[in-house]
Amino acid sequence: MLVRPAGRDAWVLPKGHVERDETVVQAGVREVQEETGTRAAVTQSLGEVSYVFSQRERGDHKAATIFKRVHFYLMEYQGGVLGDHDDEIAEAQWVDLEQALSLLTYDNEREMVARARLILGS
């Protein structure tokens, strides 16, 4: 399943921040539900991606350096309604793994889908 964040042309995998008193796995499950409207259960870790970027607030002359680590999981659909997502997401879409590889905007997310494909044998 892919999502297109509001105000962007990018197709990405659902993801977000870990909240206080929440594990990384719990955050992943919650973010999938918030961003897609569906409930899912983690079946396996796909790995993680780390990167650094600079972010500047509007009107601020100094950029902050942000270190980000993103954990990805293979999940199994448990229920819910696709499209019943929060306002941060413009669109959520079920796609097969081949289509995901061609639609995803970022190489590191395509790598995670390729790993899922190997695990699933498809």
Per-residue pLDDT of the chain (122 residues; tens, 9 = 90+): 999 999 999 999 999 999 999 999 999 999 999 999 999 999 999 999 998 888 877 777 788 888 999 999 999 999 999 989 999 999 999 999 999 999 999 999 999 999 999 999 97
Structural domain boundaries enclosing 84: 2-120
Q: Could you tell me which of 17, 114, 21, 22 has the C-alpha nearest to residue 74?
A: 114
Q: What is the CATH classification number for the domain harbouring 45?
A: 3.90.79.10
Structurally, the chain folds into a number of domains equal to 1
Cα 2 to Cα 45: distance, rounded to the nearest angstrom:
18
